[in-house]
Amino acid sequence: MYAYSVNTTKTANVVPKDRTHTSKNQQGKAKADASKGNRVEAQDRKSASVRTHGGKPALVSACLLGEPCRYDGNSNPSQAVCALASSHILVPACPEQLGGLPTPRVPSEIQPDGRVVDKHGADRTSAFASGAQQAVEIARTHKCTWAILKANSPSCGVHAVYDGSFEGVLVPGQGIAAAALRAAGLELFDEADIREELL
Ligand code: SF4
């Protein structure tokens, strides 16, 4: 089993087994849009089907493939997602690292007004927007038709995100990168969707 992405300036070379790498890039000018327009209907989860994408490449949140790129320096490896590497090209990307944020980093949440602010009050909107834009470019480069993204993340969340209070409250919605990837035409799944479909 292996997961890999073709080498570009923005993502990684072939990687063994369930390990992936991401590279950091400079911030761009993309605008974040994480407010009301990003609300996702529950129906999305039901209509999604991994099988409709056959063996086509998928962009994947790098932390789901074992990359320690989370805000706290850990990863979120998913056995179900890693198993797809035997039949699909998986292209790892971490939008927050791509946006130039360090690892570890102060956790951020999307605010009700659409800005992304970290727990210390710093506005991280432009870094999140840049990372989202670069994730879209990577998906286009590798002709990804779908993406598997980490649930509940302010970048990658597909069905829900935290409400901005840093109190652990989830609300329907999606992350900044998820919104950009969806707008670019990719079908989105999170790791729970993959578990439901394949296990
Ligand atoms: S959820 Fe997305 S942004 Fe957060 S660590 Fe994983 S890949 Fe990076």
Give yes or no for a cis peptide into 104 (omega within 30° of 0).
yes
Q: Is residue 47 pLDDT above 70, yes or no? A: no
- Residue 134 in 3-state DSSP? helix
Cα–ligand 1 centroid distance for 65 (angstroms): 11
- Residue 143 in 3-state DSSP? coil
Nearest atom of ligand 1 to the alpha carbon of 97: 8
Q: Determine whether the shortest distance from the Cβ of 95 to ligand 1 is under 6 A.
A: yes
* C-beta separation of 1 from 86 below 8 A: yes
Q: Is residue 16 pLDDT above 60, yes or no? A: no
What tokens does 77 get? 């490896």
Average pLDDT of every residue of the chain: 81
Which residue is associated with the tokens 């946006």?
99
- Residues 59-88: tens digit of each pLDDT: 999 999 999 999 999 999 999 999 999 989
119, 131, 161 from 125: Cα distances, Å: 13, 10, 15
What tokens does 168 get? 């652990």
- pLDDT value of residue 66: 98
Cα–ligand 1 centroid distance for 190 (angstroms): 12
Among residues of the chain, what percentage have pLDDT more than 70?
74
Domains of the chain, residue spans: 24-198
- pLDDT value of residue 199: 58
- Residues 111-140: tens digit of each pLDDT: 999 999 999 999 999 999 999 999 999 999
Q: Determine whether the shortest distance from the Cβ of 63 to ligand 1 is under 6 A.
A: yes
Q: Determine whether the shortest distance from the Cβ of 176 to ligand 1 is under 6 A.
A: no
- pLDDT value of residue 8: 29
Cα–ligand 1 centroid distance for 86 (angstroms): 22
